[in-house]
Every structure is written in structure tokens, then in C-alpha cells.
Structure 1
Amino acid sequence: MSKKKDKPEKPAATTIAEDAAAMHAISRALADPRRVEVLRMIACSESTSCMDLRTAMTMNPATLSHHMKQLETAGLIETRRDGKLVRATLRKKTWKSYLAHLKSFAA
């Protein structure tokens, strides 16, 4: 049997263009007020289920799914399956990076 050697992952080097594209994607995701509200609810707890979000926001499943996909594509949240539930968590590192990016405009 051959064993695969685990190669250590190299840190991803990002360019200014990649960073700008990521910040643009986040800004586009946050342009929708309902999406901002979904993100706020996710950020308020360690892990939020989609069922909890639907109940609190009175949103149909397709609409919530669309908003969650936009937030996940922008890198703001990550989702994981927990049995029948889908749980979402805020990607704090990405959020802090975005806030730092916005602060750089005031400097």
C-alpha cells in the first residue's frame, strides 16, 4: 500500500487585484438590506440554523437560500450541515478584513 504524504499547504498569496475583487464582492453582497439583516442575525450567535433565520425573518426558503448563497459566495459566512439543519457562521477574519478595507478610505 502506498501512503500519500500530506503536503503542507502554502499560504495563499493574494494580489491587490484579488483583494479588490473580494472587497467588491462583499460590498455587492451587502448592498441588499435583507442580506445585511441575515448577516447581522448570523453574527449575533456562534452558529445559526437556517430554520431559525426563516422563523425570525418570515422569509420563504428560496429567498433565504438565495441570500445565504450570496453571503457565502462573498466569503462572509460559511455553512455546514448538522443533521437535517444547515448552520451558518460568520467568517470573522473576512469581516475584519473588510472593515479594515473600509477604514483605509478615511485615512
Structure 2
Amino acid sequence: MSKARKPGLTQQQFEAIGRAISDPRRYAILHQIAAEPGLICGALEAHQHISAPTISHHLKELQEAGLIDIAREGRTASLFLRREVWESYLDSLASL
């Protein structure tokens, strides 16, 4: 079985990911999404501590950096880590 090819990151993508995960709340949200594929947005632990608009902002930053996909069905949103992008980011860091 062959591994899926990891997409290369442009310098702009690399920097966007770095900015996105530099915020401790966003990193914690990303960590929780990674732990449970298809996590329902309402199940984020952050909902207990920060407002819905702030969570939406953090999710938008993670999505724009290419780290997560958000699948919407009606009023429900499921969150997915884009592992291939995360792994490409880690590979880029490792090559420094």
C-alpha cells in the first residue's frame, strides 16, 4: 500500500500555518479536532470558555491556513484536520 503524496507548501502557506497555530486557543482547537475526526463544532471544549463569534474566528483562521475542512449540513458543522497539510508543515519544519 503506497502512502498518499503530501502536498508541498508555498512559503505563504507555511507562514499562514505558523500564524494560525501560534495562538494557544487555536492550537488547542486544532488539537481537539485532530483527536476526533468529524468533530461536531458544538462539541469543542472552547465553547465552554469563549464566545461563539470568537470560536468562529479561530475556525476561519485554521481553515484559511488550510489546516481544517468544515463540512456543513444544515445547522451542524463537522470539523476535519487536513493531515496531509499538517504533515507537510511538519516536514517543512524538520528540514530547517
TM-score by length of 1: 0.77
- Pairing 1:94–2:93 present: no
User: Structure 2 CA distance, aligned partners of 1:41 and 1:26?
Assistant: 17
Instruction: Specify the alignment match of 2:69 in structure 1.
Output: 78
- Pairing 1:68–2:39 present: no
How large is the Cα RMSD of the aligned pairs?
Answer: 1.3
The number of residue pairs the alignment matches comes to 87
Q: Which amino acid is 2:72 matched to?
A: R
Q: Quick one: percent identity of the two aligned structures?
A: 38
Gaps of 5+ in 1: 1-13
Structure 1 runs of 4+ with >3 Å offset: none
Aligned-partner SS, 1:79: strand
Higher RCO, 1 vs 2 (CA within 8 Å, ≥6 residues apart)? 2
Gaps of 5+ in 2: 1-7
Q: How much has 1:82 moved relative to structure 2?
A: 2.5
Q: What are the within-5 Å matches in structure 2 for residues 13-32 of structure 1?
A: 19-32=10-23
Radius of gyration: which is bigger?
1
Aligned-partner SS, 1:30: helix
Q: How much has 1:50 moved relative to structure 2?
A: 1.1
